A and B are shown apart, each in its own frame.
Chain A
Amino acid sequence: MTEIITSQTPPILHGPSEKEKKYDRQLRLWAASGQEALESANILLVNSGAGAVGVETLKNLVLPGIGKFTIVDDAVVNQADLGVNFFLEEDSLGKLRSECCTKLLQELNPEVQGDWFPKSVGTLDLPDVLTTSPRYTLIVYTNPIREEDLATIEAYASQHKVPVVSIHSAGFYSYFRTSLPGTFPIVDTHPEVEKTTDLRLLSPWPELVDFAQEMTKDIDALDDHEHGHIPYVVILLYCLEQWRQSHNGANPTNTKDKREFGKFVLAKSRTNNPEGGEENFQEAAAAINKNIKLPELETGLEEVFNYQLSDEFELQSTFWVIARAVKDFYLKHGCLPLPGALPDMKAQSSVYVKLQNIYKAKARRDVHEVLEIARANTGGKDVDLAEVELFCKNARFVKLINAKAPEQQLNQIYDTEKANDAAAEAMKEETSGAFSLPMSNFFIYLALAATSHNATAPADAIITTISSKIPNAIGDKRMLQVAQEVARAGGGELHNISALTGGMVAQEIIKIITKQYVPIDNTCIFDGISSRCQVLRL
């Protein structure tokens, strides 16, 4: 018997490229735009001390594919390094730590470039490295650090507007702090999907009103199938219209009215069926609470609208041009541009697609209006449509990081945190332990910062250093315990704490580089004993 073998399976159409396959699990978070930003990033690590936390941070940036990294570190690899740093091996002993770590990190991702300084033992010149290298996107340094190196980094960062992250990991504790050059606005904040629904039920535009009226003008004559498939947006618009007629034109916006309105909606459901009700009317009643509300500005966007531009750097950014245009739009219409997405709801396919297109069309019109305003404003003639689209889609959740200079002195923060701890303690006692609030991590920051340039300081020296800025710290029990715990580490890193901190720092750097999600503002302190983070603005 002859067998004829033919290829029956179709070719792979629009299948992913090798790179898309490799990065698939992260592209689902930050998409191609985020990936592109990462791939153009050039990161500098100035490493010192036990040296593991900085290298762990880089590991988590090399894997997702940053463009380039450079390690500056004049240490020579010793035995203790091998007990804490995974990117060193027996052969590394006696060699430059910067070179060994760079090479082992590069193995993780052949698409990432790596470089190191110094090129030979004892020849490090940090100012020279900074002036002769291409511009860095972001600098990470680890504590303890020489004061002159710190000054060099800070001068470079302020001259070139480069974000800096400082890290300190010792024993069970760590903290890291980001210093951003000026205000840092984020458009693509990735809020939870459920929060982003904006149906405009209280301010529908004519096309939406027409659509709803057309569907409901003879609502009682609809057959059961049609009636059971009216999308809940249409049901609510129809019921709101009826409600207003019997409530002097007022919408049900307070809790009591909303509850009544829910009953009003459900009463319109047909019950002459085996289920004794209709799913779409139940969906409508369930959607009332979240979707019938007066427009309100989120605090983040309010901050953007009220922000006074001060700086040359900011005036040039298209973000602020678009933000101003969106504000003008808001002032004119009393609402933001429509994001345009429609959640899924029970409906027939064709009806749903029509309704979806009504929302999309309105969103497009709003984008064009904002674009026109922006282009007419000063500095806006080159504003890009895609950027306006992204802004309008995310307008409600736009955020501003690092908007103001820190308002409080360390000793004020100390008193606040102390008072919070006392309140937490009292609450715990009152409720016999049923409610307990976490204790402040601020003292950990103080104790670590006191060893920034002297890693092996004993507890009493740590307290002395702190008390020069915060006299109240003397004699405080928790402050002393924390200082003892820091002294216990003797400047040594625990690999777990450094790996954990390196993960958090890498997440923050990814957020800063991709301008997606929301970075911390500005210090994160981790306590590996109670397994807790606290973010403070310091």
Chain B
Amino acid sequence: MLKIWSMKKEQQKAENADGAGGKKKKVTAAQLRVQKDLSELSLGTTMKTEFPDPDDILNFILEIKPDEGVYHGGRFTFTFNMNQNYPHEPPKVRCQQKIYHPNIDLEGKVCLNILREDWKPVLNLNAVIVGLQFLFLEPNASDPLNQEAADDLRSSRDSFRRNVRTSMAGGSIRGTTYERVVFNNKT
């Protein structure tokens, strides 16, 4: 066992480092990484974040207000939850409103490849946010979570657009009532 310690001392000398003693309280790897991700976030004018507890940066809410596309005029919020395995596991993201969207189901689950099968530790929160923005601009009918919305989009873009407007205003489509997400934009 003594040999190990002498190896350590040699290493310390070679690195010319100054040891730190005493009891430590270390920032976890996940927190470090989220801190870094947050400071690199580019939110633009359509998004903002809200931290229910600013000391807990592993949980926050992202608000998106698309300024173009069929979801223009809506306000959507997503919960972001990173666990201690971040970035080895993707963030868990859920839409808080019941919305009519081919790639978001009625429970708020989001079908975005980088949130599941294509997540890699080199990706960051910015990549996820860009992905979410993209879903509002280009809803994808090809492999949906909400089959009805996808069928509508595939058969007629116009009726899909009408349904989106109805749902965003809090109306019903085929018996499902959606949450009102339009906001009064006075500008």
Touch between chains A and B, by CB atoms below 8 Å: yes
Chain A residues with a Cβ under 8 A of chain B = 224-225, 228-229, 274
Number of A-B contacts (CB under 8 A): 9
B109-149 residues with Cβ-Cβ distance < 8 A to A are: 134, 138, 140-142
CB pair B138 A225 closer than 8 Å:
no
Tell me the minimal C-beta distance from A220 to chain B in angstroms. Answer: 18
B138 CB contacts on chain A under 8 angstroms? 274
CB-CB under 8 A from A228, the residues of chain B are 142
Cα(A274)–Cα(B137), bound, Å: 10
Measured between beta carbons, the chain A residues less than 8 angstroms from B141 are 225
The one of A224, A225, A229, A274 in contact with B134, judged by C-beta atoms closer than 8 angstroms, is: A274
Q: Mark B142-180, 1 if CB is under 8 A from A, else 0.
A: 100000000000100000000000000000000000000
**Given A229-B142, A274-B138, 7 more pairs with CB closer than 8 A:** A224-B142, A225-B141, A225-B142, A225-B154, A228-B142, A274-B134, A274-B140
* Residues of chain A within 8 A of B134, CB atoms compared: 274
Cα distance, A274 to B141, chains bound together (Å): 11
5 intermolecular pairs with C-beta atoms under 8 Å apart: A224-B142, A225-B141, A225-B142, A225-B154, A228-B142
Residues of the B chain whose Cβ atoms lie less than 8 Å from the Cβ of A224: 142
Q: A residues within 8 A CB of B154? A: 225
| Whole-angstrom CA separation of A274 from B154 in the bound complex | 15
Residues of A within 8 A of B140 (CB): 274
Q: Which residue of A lies closest to B134 (CB)?
A: A274
Q: How far is the CA of A159 from the CA of B138 in the complex (A)?
A: 76
Of B138, B140, B142, B154, most buried by chain A (CB within 10 Å of CB) is B142
Nearest-CB distance from B173 to chain A (Å)? Answer: 21
Query: Main SS of chain B's interface residues?
Result: loop
Q: How many residues of B contact A (CB 8 A)?
A: 6
**How far, in angstroms, from A225 to B140 measured CA to CA in the complex?**
10
B153 to chain A, nearest CB (A): 11
Q: A190 to B88: give the CA distance in the assembly, Å.
A: 30
B142 contacts which chain A residues (CB < 8 A)? 224-225, 228-229
Query: Cα distance A274–B140 when bound, in Å?
Result: 9
User: Roughly how many angstroms separate A228 CA and B141 CA in the complex, as a whole number?
Assistant: 11
Q: Which 4 A-B pairs have the closest CB atoms?
A: A274-B138, A228-B142, A225-B142, A225-B154
Q: Which residue of A lies closest to B137 (CB)?
A: A274
Distance in angstroms from B140 CB to nearest chain A CB is 7
| A345 CB, nearest partner CB in chain B, Å | 14
Closest to B154 in A: A225
Q: Which residues of B contact A229 (CB under 8 A)?
A: 142
Q: How far is the CA of A82 from the CA of B142 in the complex (A)?
A: 68
- The residue of chain B having its C-beta at the shortest distance from the C-beta of A275 within the complex is B140
What separation, in Å, do the CA atoms of A229 and B154 have in the docked complex? 15
Chain B positions within 8 Å of A225 at CB level: 141-142, 154
B133 to chain A, nearest CB (A): 12
CB of A427 to closest CB in B, whole Å: 26
Query: Counting chain B CB atoms within 10 Å of each CB, which of A224, A228, A229, A274 scores highest?
Result: A274
B139 CB to nearest chain A CB (Å): 9
Q: Return the chain B residue nearest A224 by Cβ.
A: B142
Bound form: Cα–Cα A229–B141 in Å: 13
Shortest distance between the CB of B84 and any CB in chain A (Å): 27
In chain B, positions 39-98 with a C-beta closer than 8 Å to chain A are none
- A467 to B140, alpha carbons, bound, how many Å? 77
Chain A residue nearest to B139 (CB atoms) is A274
Min distance, Cβ B163 to any Cβ of chain A, angstroms: 19
Smallest CB–CB gap between B155 and chain A, Å? 11
**Residue of B whose beta carbon sits closest to that of A228:** B142
Taking CB as reference atom, which chain A residue is nearest B138? A274
Rounded to whole angstroms, the CA-CA distance of A225 and B138 in the bound complex is: 15
Compute how far the CA of A224 lies from the CA of B138 in the bound complex, rounded to whole angstroms. Answer: 15
Docked Cα-Cα span, A384 to B171, in Å, equals 65
- Complex Cα gap A224–B154 (Å): 10
Task: State the Cβ distance, B2 to closest chain A Cβ, in Å.
Answer: 20
Shortest CB-to-CB span from A346 to chain B, Å, is 9
**Could you tell me the distance between the alpha carbons of A274 and B136 in the complex, rounded to whole angstroms?**
12
Chain A's nearest CB lies how many Å from the CB of B143? 8
What's the nearest-Cβ distance from chain A to residue B41, in Å?
23
Which residue on chain A has the smallest CB distance to residue B135? A274
| A228 vs B144: C-alpha distance when bound (angstroms) | 13
Q: How far is the CA of A228 from the CA of B154 in the complex (A)?
A: 14
Nearest CB of A to B172, in Å? 27
Q: How far is the CB of B104 from chain A (nearest CB, A)?
A: 16
| Cα of A229 to Cα of B142 in the assembled complex, Å | 9
- How distant is B60 from chain A, measured CB to nearest CB, in Å? 27
Complexed CA–CA distance, A159 and B136 (Å): 78
Q: CA A497 – CA B138 in complex, angstroms?
A: 62
Shortest Cβ gap from A396 to chain B (Å): 30
CB B138 to nearest CB in A, in angstroms, measures 4
Cα(A225)–Cα(B154), bound, Å: 9
C-alpha spacing A224/B153, complex, angstroms: 13
* Complex Cα spacing A225 to B151, Å: 11
Query: Which residues of chain B come closer than 8 Å to A274, judged between CB atoms?
Result: 134, 138, 140
B141 to chain A, nearest CB (A): 7
Distance of A228 from chain B, by nearest CB (Å): 6
Distance in angstroms between the alpha carbons of A498 and B135 in the assembled complex? 60
CB distance from B149 to the nearest CB of A (A): 14
Least CB distance from B98 to A in Å reads 25
A225 CA to B141 CA, complexed, in Å: 8
Nearest CB of chain B from residue A175's CB, rounded to whole Å: 30
Minimum C-beta distance from A271 to chain B (A): 14
A185 CB, nearest partner CB in chain B, Å: 40
Alpha-carbon gap, A224 to B143, bound state (A): 12
How far, in angstroms, from A229 to B140 measured CA to CA in the complex? 14
Give chain A nearest CB distance to B59 CB in angstroms.
Answer: 30
With the chains together, A225 CA to B143 CA distance in Å?
Answer: 9
User: What is the chain A residue whose CB lies nearest that of B141?
Assistant: A225
- The CA of A224 and the CA of B134, in the complex, are separated in Å by 19
- Measured between alpha carbons, how far is A274 from B139 in the docked complex, in Å? 9
Cα separation A277 to B84 with both chains bound (whole Å): 35
In the assembled complex, the Cα of A182 lies from the Cα of B110 at a distance in Å of 60
Which residue in chain A gives the minimum CB-CB distance to B150?
A: A225
Smallest beta-carbon distance B166→chain A, Å: 24
A228, B140: Cα distance in complex, Å: 12
